[in-house]
Structure 1
């Protein structure tokens, strides 16, 4: 299934700082002290005998701070004028002037407005390191001030020091238990730090004070979803929608939850409701595409699939070229490129022949591991890597994944031209009495939902002792090291060192009787070669494998082994063992 964001859900749309984290910027402005909500009742710091404020431990101040001598007398109006001047100085790049002005208000009346303005202006300018430095000065001078602790947390977060930021926000919350902005930031920081159980406690605390905080309900839903508690996640998203009906990310996430629970109709209803509210929502279109494609509603599904954000990743050498359309005049030089994963490029390769049949010259521009493999396809006149120069600039361009929509021939069951690839097999011992079987147990996925596709190698151990089989590992990436520390050691040949690209993988696959693999590029290589391939799928699986069934409309030689229930790989292994006892070539 197509998902948005690292968690499989659309991200919250609350205002954020300039870093890539998910922490929201505070949302309740104080009266004059910048955009953050500050605790009321500023306290005058202890003064030293000279009349200037005490400097805290060791009297340390950041560079450029200078002496905090008495400034000109003045009241709130003068404060407002000076804070405006400080903001202008930072914005204009005149830091020395800003630093000279900042101590004035603090020295006159013991209030940190000048320094707060300085720190705030630095944050707005994206200068988190300096903001944190001056924020620490204030924190030492005003240790009991929750607003300053909160502001220092903002600066530390912008500077990329998440753990320290969480500590300051927690301190602010200890000083002012009703400071909801601090509670929210602690929760979001803990989520970023992977401490989701603790984060949920702070979100509950926030909701006790702000029961209509839709963002908190959404985040609780996201945590529950990532913990495979789909029912609870759905309840949280409904609470978010009740609090804020216009928060379409809650509707999108609720739709994904309904899909996981098997209710496609409700999921579709939520996504279409989101699109009525925001017709331009990439996430809603993208998730609706996956939902429709999973049901075999190809034409509508691929129309929504055109909203995928990866289309913005067009190779630089193709930037500015017009789109290829079916009515493009014959003889055009068409560039085909891949905006999806390596396996998806193989999946959509079947449509390249229809482009070539329209009288075009074709050039494929691909990730390097695909280049040699795709060079075997007769419909591609030339195949180059993304970073290679082109001798002749193409006339038009189209991503492989857009071809089903552009060709209006989206049904994969009618578009199978036979094996897509032809690679000579690697050498094989003709005298071997065992049947060679390839195995891949882990996908190369960086996010948690992608990792759901992985089967622990030890879970597959019951297969190792089956008679008459010779096991060959096609596993690449970090998971290849699992072999040496598992019970499979000495019972399966490791080929990882000899697999330089996908052509090498295809040659090895071509020499095997069967490939057993999780949902990764090797499944597509074997299917495109027409080799028997058994694909191990989580529940629910990605859209291309549909919701149920043992056969694949994309690859006739594939057999699908699905989890009986979410997370149940042991059940899959039992099915595999029974099928292998019948013989690798049985049951497709």
Structure 2
């Protein structure tokens, strides 16, 4: 029998040759002869890690780390074993100990970055991949992951630089050309976005995601027919592609063809971050439910619920059912009494069993709504004219204007649709006006605190606790000026005068070009002509507001 050192050398040779099954028993014979042979323990633990035997690997590598805490590689491999079992905190601790022993241990930075990716801790992931690339600047995978972490933080310019370096190193990397298209579109570099996506699908004609991103870039360039063709191509390649179905549908509706879009609009549930609700009762498909009950659930944003509440009365007429509306808590008081609704329950309430169910946003598709049959009569929402806490702050000698500049930051397109309050200075200086903020949420209120002219804007928004209060205040104002957020829908549903400020390529419901809305007769639309150009929008709105003030005074 060879001595332990000779056996160890043979095991290492087998291991290095990739013959793991042959190396393992030799390592075990070494450990049978020398139980505390730390090198054999380390390499056997590493071999078990390679074989996917993570529990056994943790046991051995933990012993090595305890006996030799200065060995960075052992901490790194133990971290990988913990990560493979989903034990992220233990893995992070191990990898940080590896880096404490060796601050230039590139692999540990990479492994730590992967864990932060899985935890969606994007700033930490970014930091790790930056550190890794400082030590391994030619590593393509690390640069790809850095670009992704930057993209998730809306650092699109930096993400573009990362992805551009990847395609410099590997020009035929189709997926990264597609990623570049995505970030170029976010930056408003629309020609570059189209060109990058076209490059991706030339390199990989069967790449459905590339065709989908090409469609997005073409849509943002207002080439809607070409965009639909790109989405169609993606779906021919990959019929089970919910995002492409959704993009095709919303592009059709952006073009004004509601009827064509409703079917694909149903794919929205498959692309939501949280899994959709499940129900025991059947989905309503338009049949009579006379004498029965129908649960209508609002499962998207506040603005969606306010916009689609118009379909509750037609749904009740078509079904004959007793409709129970399940909606967001902040909307419950406002929506009680809505035509067609027998009962309103809110998030957290007991949900009764009904004969059928349907999503609120699915109603127009079931009802067969087209652009010609869209219910547009307003108001379809109302609020009791109760004594308002804001009555004594409205100056009747001025034109009272409600103002909203910031949507929900969690919304994927919020960076595009929200207008920085700092851009609105010329508007706020309009003579004869009193601006009253309807803005809620920390992101918007922080902007108000930061502008020099904040004293010109009365902050009512921080005192608003639900939409019924906001509605009561809107009814006391002369005008609402808002970006594309829930307040636009609320003001429109109340029949209030509202001016909505739109990005270059807005959400599908606002279509393109037109200055009015088929959804809200009392609404005017002010659009960016170029990507991100809020100053021109504010200039147009300011001029129009001055005209309104002058007409009022004359």
Q: TM-score range by the shorter chain?
A: 0.7 to 0.9
- 1:282 to 2:250 alignment: no
8 Å CA contact 2:253–2:509 kept in 1: the answer is yes
Runs (4+) of structure 1 moved beyond 6 Å? 78-82, 101-104, 114-117, 136-146, 584-587
Match of 2:504 among 539, 560, 565: 539
Provide Cα deviations, 1:464-488, integer angstroms capped at 9, x if missing partner: 3444433322122222344455354
- What's the CA shift for 1:259? 1.1
1:31-180 equivalences in 2 (<5 Å): 32=18, 69=38, 71=40, 83-84=47-48, 87=51, 89-91=53-55, 95-97=58-60, 99=62, 120-131=80-91, 150-151=110-111, 154=114, 161-162=124-125, 165-167=128-130, 169-173=132-136, 177=138, 179-180=139-140
8 Å CA contact 2:504–2:532 kept in 1: the answer is yes
1:432 is matched with 396
Alpha-carbon distance in 1 for matches of 2:191, 2:422: 30
8 Å CA contact 1:128–1:158 kept in 2: the answer is no
Greater relative contact order (Cα < 8 A, sep 6+)? 1
Which shows bigger deviation, 181-190 or 424-433?
Answer: 424-433
1:451 is matched with 415
Q: How many residues align?
A: 510
Distance change (3 Å), C-alpha of 1:32 and 1:151: farther
- What's the CA shift for 1:418? 3.7
* Structure 2 alignment gaps of length 5 or more: 1-15, 21-34
Distance change (3 Å), C-alpha of 1:207 and 1:490: closer
1:259-270 equivalences in 2 (<5 Å): 259-270=219-230
Aligned residue for 1:452, secondary structure, equals: helix
Match of 1:496 among 439, 448, 461: 461
Alpha-carbon distance in 2 for matches of 1:351, 1:585: 39
8 Å CA contact 1:126–1:158 kept in 2: the answer is no
Which shows bigger deviation, 462-471 or 378-387?
Answer: 462-471
8 Å CA contact 2:308–2:361 kept in 1: the answer is yes
- 1:552 to 2:517 alignment: yes
Aligned residue for 2:136, secondary structure, equals: helix
Provide Cα deviations, 1:2-25, integer angstroms capped at 9, x if missing partner: xxxxxxxxxxxxxxxxxxxxxxxx
Match of 1:252 among 194, 206, 212: 212
Larger helix percent: 2
Alignment RMSD? 3.8
Aligned residue for 2:325, secondary structure, equals: strand
Distance change (3 Å), C-alpha of 1:130 and 1:574: closer
Provide Cα deviations, 1:558-580, integer angstroms capped at 9, x if missing partner: 11111232222222233223323
Alpha-carbon distance in 1 for matches of 2:106, 2:398: 72
8 Å CA contact 1:474–1:494 kept in 2: the answer is yes
1:389 is matched with 350
Alpha-carbon distance in 1 for matches of 2:190, 2:487: 30
2:488 is matched with 523
Alpha-carbon distance in 2 for matches of 1:401, 1:570: 34
Alpha-carbon distance in 2 for matches of 1:168, 1:138: 14
1:294 is matched with 254
1:411 is matched with 371
Please report the TM-score for the alignment, with normalisation by the length of structure 1: 0.76
- What's the CA shift for 1:84? 4.2
2:295 is matched with 335
Provide Cα deviations, 1:346-388, integer angstroms capped at 9, x if missing partner: 1111111122223210111111111001013131111111101
2:177 is matched with 217
Alpha-carbon distance in 1 for matches of 2:546, 2:433: 10
Which shows bigger deviation, 277-286 or 578-587?
Answer: 578-587
1:6 is matched with none
8 Å CA contact 1:376–1:423 kept in 2: the answer is no
Distance change (3 Å), C-alpha of 1:292 and 1:31: farther
1:373 is matched with 334
Aligned residue for 1:283, secondary structure, equals: helix
* Structure 1 alignment gaps of length 5 or more: 1-29, 35-65, 73-77, 105-109
